[in-house]
Amino acid sequence: MTADNSAHVVPSWAAHEIGETIISPDQVSSRVRELGADITRDYADNPPLLVGVLKGAMVFMSDLIRAIELPVDVDFMAVSSYGASTKSSGVVRIVKDLDAELSNRHVLIVEDVVDTGLTLNYLRKYLGARKPLSLEVCALLFKEEIQRVEQDIRYIGFSIPADFVVGYGLDVNERYRNLGGVYKFTGEA
């Protein structure tokens, strides 16, 4: 992506650990509106159940649902795949399961970022076993050039380089989720 981020300044309280702006707050919000319009069009006859993956997708989810002009339902799962480091462990653990039934539902998984794809792969199998009418994925970020499990992702906000990033819901050790854009993390994890 080669959009112009020059007008955007990294907040001073975060600047010591934050590098370049990968996606500015303005770019995020216009892309989220586009994704909402796409989902509104594609699901016009079958409003989906959106399943957000906590905690990273919480900010994206809250903006995305307000960009969808359909009577969607919302639920969350919490999975843990990283522990407290910036490298994927490959081990996915369910910390909070869904409250909703999935049979007779069109399900759309809402993820913050697809890195190795291990988390998504696991979630697809896990949710697919509950026999939803359809199961698709909307990921805000998709990391390029990563050795990953083959993925079929219906909606992608942005393809980004493979660096570790924070902001707009994404964290390092629970910090920086409240940054309005997405930034390269330059500190010690």
Stretch that binds Mg ion, among 16-24, 35-43, 52-60, 96-104 (CB under 5 A): 52-60
Count of residues near ligand IMP by CB under 6 A: 19
Stretch that binds Mg ion, among 11-19, 56-64, 132-140, 180-188 (CB under 5 A): 56-64
Identify which of residues 27 and 47 has a Cβ nearer to ligand IMP in the complex.
Answer: 27
Q: Identify what 115 binds: ligand IMP, Mg ion, none; CB under 5 to 8 Å per kind.
A: ligand IMP
φ and ψ of 126, to 5 deg: -65, -45
Residue tagged 């509106």 (tokens): 33
CA angle, corner 154, sides to 150 and 159, nearest 5? 70
Do 88 and 114 meet the contact criterion of CB atoms below 8 Å apart? Answer: no
Do 39 and 68 meet the contact criterion of CB atoms below 8 Å apart? Answer: yes
By the rule CB under 5 A, 169 interacts with Mg ion: no
Rounded Cα–Cα distance for residues 21 and 180 (Å)? 11
> Minimum distance from CB of 100 to ligand IMP (Å)?
20
Active-site residue (options: 115, 152, 163, 171)? 115
> Minimum distance from CB of 179 to ligand IMP (Å)?
12
Residue tagged 């969607």 (tokens): 72
Distances 186 to 7, 60, 98, 164, 179 between C-alpha atoms, Å: 21, 23, 35, 8, 15
Rounded Cα–Cα distance for residues 6 and 112 (Å)? 24
By the rule CB under 6 A, 109 interacts with ligand IMP: no
Count of residues near Mg ion by CB under 5 A: 1
Q: Which of 29, 40, 88, 186 binds ligand IMP (CB under 6 A)?
A: 88
Stretch that binds ligand IMP, among 37-45, 101-109, 129-137, 158-166 (CB under 6 A): 158-166
Judge whether 115 counts as a catalytic residue. Answer: yes
CB atoms within 10 A of CB 147: 7
Q: Which residue is nearest to Mg ion (CB)?
A: 56
Interface with ligand IMP (CB under 6 A): 53, 56, 81-82, 88, 111-120, 164-166, 170
Which residues have a catalytic role annotated?
Answer: 115
